[in-house]
Structure 1
Amino acid sequence: MVGQEQIAPVTVVDDLQISDLRAALAAGWRDFRTYPIFGLFFAAIYVSAGIFLYVALFNWGAAAWLIPAAAGFPLLAPFTAVGLYEVSRRREAGLPMSWRAVLGALRGHGDDQIINMGVILFVAFGFWLMVAHGIFAVFLAESGLGSESLELFQTRAGILMLLVGGAVGALMALGFYAITVVSLPMLVDREVDFLTAIIVSLGTVRSNSFVILIWAVWIAISLFIAMVPMFLGLLVVLPVLGHATWHLYRRTVL
């Protein structure tokens, strides 16, 4: 079938276009404008966690850890967006909207599949911090500075650390993005196990690699810019991206 590929129990299109990303963003913006209270609620949790992390690292004299922590923070964004997928799903289906239904999306379809994906993401975040700690240890020793000093990033060792850490972090982020870009919306939408959802997500990336990579870059840039003003930009960016991801999933998985 032209433009489609059978993957696991579903059919995935292989003809995504850049115009589909624009359409998904427009639909995501409409969802956010229609039900902003849900988007602001979930984004506020994420922003509060980011601000707490920022304050805590400075108080603990570990300011240099802010960069790797902030770099790994987006790994948790897909799980934070589960409620947003449910909002978009219910709006699309014309179902009544309620806090009970939206918050209940984390339970999935009476199973632990979404929770299992959440565990994977939190483990991924912890693993990234371990890797970042190893990279820090190597370059901190060379620089002679401690993690409490932001001057580290002005040294040769600090710049090299950012380059190496950025490359390693980007590869890890891309890998986890590939397994979540479709899987979490799918778990909200359908009664499938998380391994099947991951297989479909990977198949989606393989079948539409260029467009999906553009989407990944757009998400990364948007989240980075949104985190600069004390994470406050995420109050709008995170909900819009979350809703948009749902619509991209609906365009991709049949």
Structure 2
Amino acid sequence: MASKTAGSTPPNNLTPPQRAMPKVNKVTAGDITASLKAGFSDFLTRPFMSGFFGLLYAVFGILFVWSLIWLGKIWMIIPAVVGFPLVAPFAATGLYEMSRRLQKGESFGWSEILTVMANQRKREMGWMAFVTLFIFWVWIYQVRLWLAIILQDAPFSDFDGFLNTVFFTPQGWTFLAIGTCAGAILSAVLFSVTVVAMPLLLDRETNFVSAMLTSIRVVTENPVVMLTWAAIISVTMLLSLVPAFLGLIFTLPILGHTTWHLYQRAVAPAEG
């Protein structure tokens, strides 16, 4: 008698195909220069729209610092300001989409860009936002930990007193040294997992783990070039914070557009 289970095995062609990991290219300092030129060109093409995203980021930073002062969290101001650029890759999502459309010669307006940004919450970008904010939270928490351990007996009741303690006392120098090392490690981790992951998720249908692994491969296979790019981002962003965050109106859009073009050079186009 024939088995009841005969022919119940599904054909192989019903198995979902496994997506291949994106291929990573070698990049050079010339790629950074070319990407910066392309990013600046994108900014000049749509300066008001690009500047809008920079303005939003700057206003958020100003309100964030003001809220810390209002809540009396004086100790959080410096780590918050220093760690603020960590969330820039997520804030630049709209800029990536603008560069993508400009590169393809597509016309677009506010509704197209904002719609794409809103739709990212239904995709893997939300997980990348979680990763970014989690590392930012770890940064703030470890600063509070070292503050409690090293500066527990230091007297400061206002922002000027905090600055004096941090910059003009031996305990403050120790706090700065340890905090700088810890911050450098966290920044390196976040940079490695996001530098091309954000634009990759916007550009292709892939999961956030694959995007992060691809980003890490770009960094490990191009360590000198990507370290140079990380240094450019860090110095530019920190200098932009000096004039009350207002420098971000210009630098965030240019760096965001540039990141898109560097991603295009660092990751090979999808096959098919």
Alignment TM-score > 0.5, same fold: yes
1:26 to 34, 37, 46: 37
Q: 1:4 corresponds to which residue?
A: none
Q: 1:237 corresponds to which residue?
A: 251
Read off the aligned partner of 1:218 and give its amino acid letter: I
Q: 1:12 corresponds to which residue?
A: 24
- Structure 1 residue 131 displacement after superposition: 1.0
How many Å separate the matches in 2 of 1:110 and 1:128? 24
- Checking the alignment, whether the CA contact within 8 Å between 1:39 and 1:239 is kept in structure 2 is yes
Segment of structure 1 superposing worse, 124-133 or 23-32: 124-133
Q: Would you say 1:189 and 2:203 are equivalent positions?
A: yes
Q: 2:16 corresponds to which residue?
A: none
Q: Residues 192-211 of structure 1 correspond to what in structure 2 (within 5 A)? A: 192-211=206-225
Structure-1-length-normalised TM-score: 0.92
| Structure with max Cα Rg | 2
- Structure 1 residue 17 displacement after superposition: 1.2
Q: Would you say 1:152 and 2:170 are equivalent positions?
A: no
Segment of structure 1 superposing worse, 99-108 or 28-37: 99-108
Segment of structure 1 superposing worse, 39-48 or 110-119: 110-119
Percent identity of the aligned residues? 35
Structure-2-length-normalised TM-score: 0.86
Distance 1:169 1:109, change over 3 A: closer
- Structure 1 residue 108 displacement after superposition: 5.3
Distance 1:146 1:32, change over 3 A: same
- Structure 1 residue 124 displacement after superposition: 1.5
RMSD of aligned Cα (Å): 1.8
Q: 1:3 corresponds to which residue?
A: none
Q: 2:152 corresponds to which residue?
A: 141
- Checking the alignment, whether the CA contact within 8 Å between 1:75 and 1:173 is kept in structure 2 is yes
- Structure 1 residue 156 displacement after superposition: 1.4
- Checking the alignment, whether the CA contact within 8 Å between 1:65 and 1:147 is kept in structure 2 is no
Q: Would you say 1:61 and 2:72 are equivalent positions?
A: yes
Report how many aligned residue pairs link the two structures: 247
How many Å separate the matches in 2 of 1:205 and 1:25? 18
User: Could you list the per-position Cα deviations for residues 1-31 of structure 1 after superposition, in whole angstroms to 9, with x for gaps in the alignment?
Assistant: xxxxxx95221112x1111111111111000
User: Could you list the per-position Cα deviations for residues 71-101 of structure 1 after superposition, in whole angstroms to 9, with x for gaps in the alignment?
Assistant: 1111110000010000000000111112122
Q: Would you say 1:35 and 2:49 are equivalent positions?
A: no
Q: 2:141 corresponds to which residue?
A: 130
Distance 1:110 1:233, change over 3 A: closer
How many Å separate the matches in 1 of 2:226 and 2:234? 12
Q: Would you say 1:219 and 2:243 are equivalent positions?
A: no
- Checking the alignment, whether the CA contact within 8 Å between 1:85 and 1:243 is kept in structure 2 is yes
How many Å separate the matches in 2 of 1:136 and 1:233? 29
Q: 1:80 corresponds to which residue?
A: 91
> What 5-or-longer segments of structure 1 have no aligned partner?
1-6
- Structure 1 residue 216 displacement after superposition: 0.3
